[in-house]
């Protein structure tokens, strides 16, 4: 069985997380909130609620299907995922996927993402970003943390984060989300046996 690469940040300084965020977000900058919106819910409540309970399991499932190149299954599962969300959240995630597709248009190593864009009538940002992370060979844990960063950044008051200060934004996210990695690992443990997780 294929193993998922999941590893800790050995230095404790967030460098692995920052590296994953920087690789996966190249060219991707949502201009509106995705699922998280700080005007509706606090980051802590969002992260410990819908993010860990709904978004992370979907990200993991899509990642598994992508590793098996099951495009039709990715599309079917993502459509079910969007249909079960409140309409406003579903619409925001669907609109957000276009940003991922536009950022990777013509990019090498993104064949599966292109096929997804061409074949899916609608797609969530969650699924598109999972496929994007897979295309960069980013370990699953770090891909999910990168996705958390995108949700966090998109849902924060954007006036605090001008693009020229994006590195400061990343560092603030790492500071505010110190327990993020361990909480996600606990969710991953529910989906993978120890033999499938490479620490």
- The pLDDT of residue 183: 73
- pTM given for the model: 0.80
List per-residue pLDDT tens for the chain, 199 residues long: 333 443 344 444 456 666 666 666 666 778 889 999 989 998 889 988 999 999 999 999 999 999 999 999 999 999 999 999 999 999 999 999 998 888 877 666 678 888 999 998 899 999 999 998 888 888 888 888 889 888 988 888 655 555 556 666 666 776 666 666 677 777 777 766 543 443 3
Question: Which CATH number applies to 4-198?
Answer: 1.10.4190
CA distance 147 to 25: 9
Sorted by where each begins, the domain ranges of the chain are: 4-198
- The pLDDT of residue 85: 95
């Amino acid at each position: 069985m294929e193993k998922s690469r999941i590893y800790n940040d050995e230095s404790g300084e967030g460098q692995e997380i920052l590296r994953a965020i920087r690789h996966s977000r190249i060219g991707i900058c949502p201009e509106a909130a995705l699922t998280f919106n700080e005007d509706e819910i606090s980051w802590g409540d969002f992260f410990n609620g819908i993010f860990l309970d709904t978004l992370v399991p979907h990200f993991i499932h899509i990642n598994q299907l992508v590793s098996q190149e099951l495009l039709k299954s990715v599309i079917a599962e993502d459509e079910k995922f969007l249909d079960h969300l409140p309409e406003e959240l579903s619409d925001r995630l669907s609109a957000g996927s276009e940003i991922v597709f536009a950022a990777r248009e013509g990019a090498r190593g993104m064949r599966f993402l292109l096929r997804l864009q061409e074949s899916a009538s609608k797609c969530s940002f969650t699924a598109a970003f999972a496929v994007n992370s897979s295309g960069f060979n980013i370990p699953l844990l770090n891909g999910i943390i990168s996705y958390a960063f995108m949700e966090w950044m998109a849902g924060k008051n954007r006036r605090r984060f001008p693009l020229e200060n994006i590195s400061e934004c990343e560092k603030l996210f790492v500071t505010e989300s110190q327990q993020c990695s361990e909480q996600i690992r606990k969710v991953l443990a529910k989906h993978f046996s120890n033999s499938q997780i490479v620490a």
